[in-house]
């Protein structure tokens, strides 16, 4: 019987510590651990190859494991392909996914995993102009371009920042929906959430210029 885990944390060190705990509990030899470490994105071809690996019997242990690091970099097609594996799992296999934010994965993927949420706070928040708690954005064009330039200096920082904003936008949206279906900000925050998700997917799965992506995002927000 397969077990699927989703380890969520902004800290890669904390992610890895939790992964090691899961592997240790199942007493899995290093020979029976297959890892996927993406550079830019994880495509459907990698998942197809993964299915072949999963179908093989363990080499030294009773159980084998697959660890997909930075699962938020799975393309939509790859996630759909992985979903079929989660629905029809082979025996004696553990799949562990790590991600900075579960909202960046398809809900169907998340629902088939045991989610281990290690942290919800990102200590690398950047840019005083944006306030995650109330989703305020800079008004002046110069401020928007300055923030885009600051965040784009490091792609990982930009991705983590976008992950935070996705969580914040989703929280605000759910709060407004629960309060009143006719809340005037529901449509606005829904559009903001969609814009952040699109930017994150584009930045995490392609070689697009981070500054160009962020500038387009900020200029589209009203």
- Give dist(CA 203, CA 142) in Å, integer: 22
pLDDT tens profile 168-181: 788 777 877 776 65
CB 195 within 8 A of CB 217: yes
| Model confidence at 123: pLDDT above 70 | no
pLDDT tens profile 101-116: 887 888 899 999 999 9
Share of the chain above pLDDT 70, in %: 86
Residue 183 binned pLDDT confidence (cut-offs 50, 70, 90):
low
pLDDT tens profile 22-52: 999 888 988 999 999 987 789 999 999 998 8
Mean pLDDT of 186-210: 87
- Can you give the pLDDT at residue 169? 80
- Please classify residue 134 by burial: count the beta carbons closer than 10 Å to its beta carbon, then call 0-12 exposed, 13-18 middle and 19+ buried: exposed
- Please classify residue 198 by burial: count the beta carbons closer than 10 Å to its beta carbon, then call 0-12 exposed, 13-18 middle and 19+ buried: middle
| Model confidence at 134: pLDDT above 70 | no
Residues 6+ apart with CB under 8 A from 107: none
Domains of the chain: 3-117 (3.40.50.300), 141-220 (no CATH)
Residue 131 binned pLDDT confidence (cut-offs 50, 70, 90):
very low
pTM for this one? 0.62
- Give dist(CA 190, CA 198) in Å, integer: 12
- Can you give the pLDDT at residue 167? 79
Residues 6+ apart with CB under 8 A from 48: 81
- Give dist(CA 42, CA 52) in Å, integer: 16
- Can you give the pLDDT at residue 121? 47
| Model confidence at 90: pLDDT above 60 | yes
């Amino acid at each position: 019987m397969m077990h699927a885990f989703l380890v969520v944390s902004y800290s890669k060190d904390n992610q890895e510590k939790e992964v090691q705990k899961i592997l240790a509990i199942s007493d899995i030899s290093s020979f029976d651990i297959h890892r996927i470490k993406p550079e830019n994105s994880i495509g459907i071809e990698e998942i197809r190859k993964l299915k072949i690996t999963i179908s093989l019997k363990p080499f030294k242990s009773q159980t084998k494991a697959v660890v997909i690091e930075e699962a938020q970099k799975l393309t939509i097609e790859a996630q759909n392909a992985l979903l079929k594996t989660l629905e029809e799992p082979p025996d004696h296999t553990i799949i562990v996914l790590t991600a900075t934010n579960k909202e960046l994965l398809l809900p169907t993927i998340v629902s088939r995993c045991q989610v281990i949420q290690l942290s919800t706070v990102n200590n690398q928040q950047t840019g005083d102009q944006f306030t995650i708690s109330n989703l305020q954005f800079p008004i002046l064009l110069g401020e928007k371009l300055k923030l885009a330039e600051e965040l784009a200096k490091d792609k990982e920082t930009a991705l983590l920042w976008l992950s935070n904003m996705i969580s914040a936008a989703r929280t605000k949206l759910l709060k407004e929906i629960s309060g009143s279906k006719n809340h005037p900000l529901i449509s606005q925050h829904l559009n903001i959430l969609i814009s952040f998700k699109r930017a994150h997917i584009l930045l995490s799965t392609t070689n697009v210029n981070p500054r160009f992506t962020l500038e387009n995002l900020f200029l589209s927000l009203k």
